[in-house]
């Protein structure tokens, strides 16, 4: 079983949406969505679930944090 992981941008592109389209579906401006995609803001959990559902990608398959912000 393949275990693909996607960042927010990759998930959006895989689903075939532009930033404008996904931001409308999430009920936010494109500028606000860009902040999430660039890692300057983090989705609330409910918005992250909605994003995953819109993209039709498992919530567990999407990395919602900027990798450089993760500390082990």
Supply the pLDDT for residue 1: 42
Which residue has better confidence, 70 or 13? 13
Model pTM score: 0.84
HSE at residue 68, side-chain half, CA atoms within 13 A, is 3
In angstroms, the CA 29 to CA 6 distance is 22
Cα separations (Å) of 64 from 1, 6? Answer: 22, 9
Cβ atoms 58, 47 nearer than 8 A: no
In angstroms, the CA 60 to CA 57 distance is 8
pLDDT digit string, tens, across residues 15-70 = 999 999 999 999 999 999 999 999 899 999 999 999 999 999 999 999 887 655 54
């Amino acid at each position: 079983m393949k275990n693909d992981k996607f960042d927010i941008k990759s998930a959006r592109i895989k689903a075939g949406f532009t930033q404008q389209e996904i931001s409308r579906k999430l009920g936010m401006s494109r500028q606000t969505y860009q902040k999430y995609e660039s890692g300057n803001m983090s989705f609330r959990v409910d918005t992250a679930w909605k994003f995953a559902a819109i993209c039709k990608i498992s919530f567990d398959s999407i990395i919602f944090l900027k990798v450089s912000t993760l500390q082990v």
